[in-house]
Amino acid sequence: MLAKLLAVGACMALSTPAAGEGNAAAFPKGDALLGAALASKDCVACHARRFDGNADRIYLRDDRKVRTPAQLAAQVSYCNTELGTGYFPDEEEHVAAFLNQKYYHFK
């Protein structure tokens, strides 16, 4: 069990940028790794239902609504309210940091 936890931790460390890398400036208090866990738990199924099973399409479409870090933060907050996930503001920032790192690349 310990070996499995260490292996998972090592993979996670390799998949996230080190401090100062990536696009942390847009969401400096956000932890993209925590945000990824929250997004996979609460966001993916809703987005997949809306986009014929492909949850990523919401972020990759040409007519996406989110164009700034402030809009991303507002959209995460809106989804939190709509889904009733009960995220605290710091958790919303984690989700925004993850989405920014993976899809938006705001600085």
63-92 pLDDT, tens digit each: 989 999 999 999 999 999 999 999 999 999
Please provide the average confidence, as pLDDT, over all residues in the chain. Answer: 83
pLDDT at 8: 36
pTM for the model stands at: 0.76
Distance CA 3, CA 96 (A): 31
Q: What is the pLDDT of residue 25?
A: 84
Spans of all domains in the chain: 31-107
Report d(CA 98, CA 3) in Å as an integer.
26
pLDDT, average across residues 35-53: 93
Rounded Cα–Cα distance for residues 36 and 99 (Å):
8
Least Cα distance to 95 among 43, 36, 53 occurs for 36
